[in-house]
Amino acid sequence: MAPQLDSYFQQVDALSDAFIERLRQAVAIPSVSSEAARRPDVVRMGQFLADELTKLGAHVELRPLGKQPGTDLDLPPVVLARYGNDKNKRTILVYGHYDVQPAQKTDGWDTEPFELTIMPDGRMCGRGSTDDKGPVLGWLNAIEAHKSAGIEFPVNLLMCFEGMEEYGSEGLDDLINAEAKKFFADADAVCISDNYWLGTERPCLTYGLRGCNYYSVEVWGPGADLHSGVFGGTAQEPMTDLVRIMSSLVDTNGNILIPGIAEQVAPVTAEEEGLYDDISFTMETLHESLGSKTTIFDDKKRTLMARWRQPSLSLHGIEGAFSAPGAKTVIPAKVIGKFSIRTVPNMDIDKTNEAVYRYVEDVFKKLGSKNSMKVYAQHTGKWWVASPKHWNFSAAAKATERVWGVKPDFTREGGSIPVTLTFEQATGKNVLLLPMGSSTDGAHSINEKLDKRNYIEGIKLLGAYLHYVAEEPMN
């Protein structure tokens, strides 16, 4: 029997201003995990969630994670919470992150990044609106709407919200493993709302993610930054070496030039070949979210395959390089190049690291430079692919149809959520990714937004999913 959801949906609509206000308060806390100076704000954001959850009647624990490796800085606490403890109900464990990417108005934002700004077309702009504060608050809002509608909450809800996801989920694996048989012991399934629709119209359920290995290459030589008029042509320059190393990693069409990577990639099966045609995804929407037409492929299938099931290597930046406007004639003494590899089945983290180290060391050796070089991984994370043939996915599909009036696509994604596989392995339960935002939200980019419609309907979706979960037969 379809669950009675009408009064819940009405209550979400009635409370929508309060829910937007809650998002405004969350966006106003600049919880940037990668900047040491912002760490107090990250902690404040965790406290905000804990306070809101406590007010809603949840049992909340703030768990310390100790020091950030290699620093004197405390990691932000994990917010663990439980709402409901009824042995006759299913228990769903949800995960999200309350940290965000850095943002400054001068990066090119049209509005202040840490002030939620609502546009006439319904875009709610602000850092973290879609990644991942809107979805995290979605769970809190679903609880509130049930309370004020006077409807019984359909499941026991366990929550795990962390503050270091954008930095590789430092410290969280250990906590998940330690709590698998404790705080998370009665979880029947896991749900993560931290990805996006493939386009702007059709919702999706996601069953795969790529992993992410993030590397640094340091090159140094001179004792201090130098005048290029005095030392140019007399000193071997670290940046010259680094740029030559970085240019040897990947080509214009995204081909990874490191031996030992392509060999690890799982072959395409006949079944998989047929999966791509039905996915609602067009090159036009890709061009729209890309903001240009500079794609490597011009067809949907190869593009989706490149994003979902092929590895990629991206160059991110060079620490220590002159990057300000103007024309400073400096020779940087030490530079650190940053790049990452998105990993896919059946790549192995250690094998991939070894291939990278061997290749970079080899390229550097061939340069014949007197400078010094060091290459190492800053963080690594495994890829994840699950089976969508599970009641967890069936419930989410029914909820999607009920809220959005269409069947969801079943998708994989190119991005990474490092702890997804950890949750699956530690709990032994099915993990579902249930996105709220859409492809044009611009996570990590300037003018990040969450459409008001996706936020409000997304809150209905998360609540409806829990009701359908309660009704699914076990399989």
Residues that bind Mn ion (CB under 5 A): 131-132, 194
From its phi and psi, is residue 188 left (phi > 0), alpha (psi between -120 and 50) or beta?
A: alpha
Q: In angstroms, rounded to a whole number, what is the distance separating the alpha carbons of residues 355 and 153? A: 50
Cβ count near 105 (within 10 Å): 13
| Cβ-contact 206, 439 below 8 angstroms | no
Q: 3-state DSSP call for residue 395?
A: helix
Residues with Cβ within 8 Å of residue 103, at least 6 apart in sequence:
30, 32, 109, 113, 114, 127, 446, 448
- Measured in whole angstroms, the distance separating CA 336 from the mean position of its chain's CA atoms is 24
- Measured in whole angstroms, the distance separating CA 10 from the mean position of its chain's CA atoms is 31
Which residue in 12, 187, 212, 469 binds ligand BES (CB under 6 A)?
212
Nearest approach, Cβ of 85 to ligand BES (angstroms)? 30
Which residues in 272-331 contact ligand BES (CB under 6 A)? none
Residue 212 touches which member of Mn ion, ligand BES, none, C-beta under 5-8 Å by kind: ligand BES
Q: Which is nearer to ligand BES, 9 or 214 (CB)?
A: 214
Q: Which window, 46-54, 162-170, 353-361, 419-427, contacts ligand BES (CB under 6 A)?
A: 162-170
Question: Identity (one letter) of the amino acid at 218?
Answer: E
| Residue tagged active-site, from 99, 179, 241, 472 | 99
Residue 260 is a binding residue for ligand BES (CB under 6 A): no
Q: Where are the beta strands (DSSP E) in 128-182?
A: 156-162
Q: What single-letter DSSP state applies at residue 307?
A: H
Q: 3-state DSSP call for residue 319?
A: strand
Which residues in 373-412 contact ligand BES (CB under 6 A)? 381
Q: In angstroms, rounded to a whole number, what is the distance separating the alpha carbons of residues 299 and 304? A: 9
Which residue in 417, 426, 431, 462 binds ligand BES (CB under 6 A)?
417
Which residues in 1-60 contact ligand BES (CB under 6 A)? none
Q: Which is nearer to Mn ion, 194 or 451 (CB)?
A: 194
Q: In angstroms, rounded to a whole number, what is the distance separating the alpha carbons of residues 40 and 254? A: 39
Residue 451 is a binding residue for ligand BES (CB under 6 A): no
Residue 203 touches which member of Mn ion, ligand BES, none, C-beta under 5-8 Å by kind: none
Q: H-helix or E-strand containing 410?
A: strand 409-412
Q: Which is nearer to ligand BES, 195 or 447 (CB)?
A: 195
Question: Identity (one letter) of the amino acid at 268?
Answer: V
Residue 168 touches which member of Mn ion, ligand BES, none, C-beta under 5-8 Å by kind: ligand BES
Residue 165 is a binding residue for ligand BES (CB under 6 A): yes
Which residue in 163, 418, 437, 463 binds ligand BES (CB under 6 A)?
418
| Residue tagged active-site, from 165, 237, 448, 457 | 165
Q: Which is nearer to ligand BES, 52 or 194 (CB)?
A: 194
CA-atom Rg of the chain in angstroms = 23
> How is residue 116 written in tokens?
């939620």
Is 99 among the residues known to form the active site? yes
Residue for token digits 């340069």?
367
Q: 3-state DSSP call for residue 428?
A: coil
Q: Which is nearer to ligand BES, 145 or 159 (CB)?
A: 159
Residue 416 is a binding residue for ligand BES (CB under 6 A): yes
Residue for token digits 């609880």?
143
Binding site for Mn(2+): residue ranges? 97, 131, 166, 194, 444
- Measured in whole angstroms, the distance separating CA 22 from the mean position of its chain's CA atoms is 21
Q: 3-state DSSP call for residue 162?
A: strand
| Cβ-contact 471, 3 below 8 angstroms | yes
Residue 416 touches which member of ligand BES, Mn ion, none, C-beta under 5-8 Å by kind: ligand BES
Q: Which is nearer to Mn ion, 128 or 238 (CB)?
A: 128
Residue 135 touches which member of Mn ion, ligand BES, none, C-beta under 5-8 Å by kind: none
Is 165 among the residues known to form the active site? yes
Q: Which window, 24-32, 38-46, 73-81, 163-171, contacts ligand BES (CB under 6 A)?
A: 163-171
**Between 85 and 124, how does the x/- string for binding to ligand BES read (CB under 6 A)?**
----------------------------------------
> How is residue 269 written in tokens?
């099966």
**Between 127 and 156, how does the x/- string for binding to ligand BES read (CB under 6 A)?**
----xx------------------------
Q: In angstroms, rounded to a whole number, what is the distance separating the alpha carbons of residues 235 and 226? A: 9
Q: Which is nearer to Mn ion, 132 or 409 (CB)?
A: 132
Binding-site ranges for ligand BES (CB under 6 A): 131-132, 165-166, 168, 194-196, 212, 381, 413, 415-418, 443
Residues noted as catalytic: 99, 165
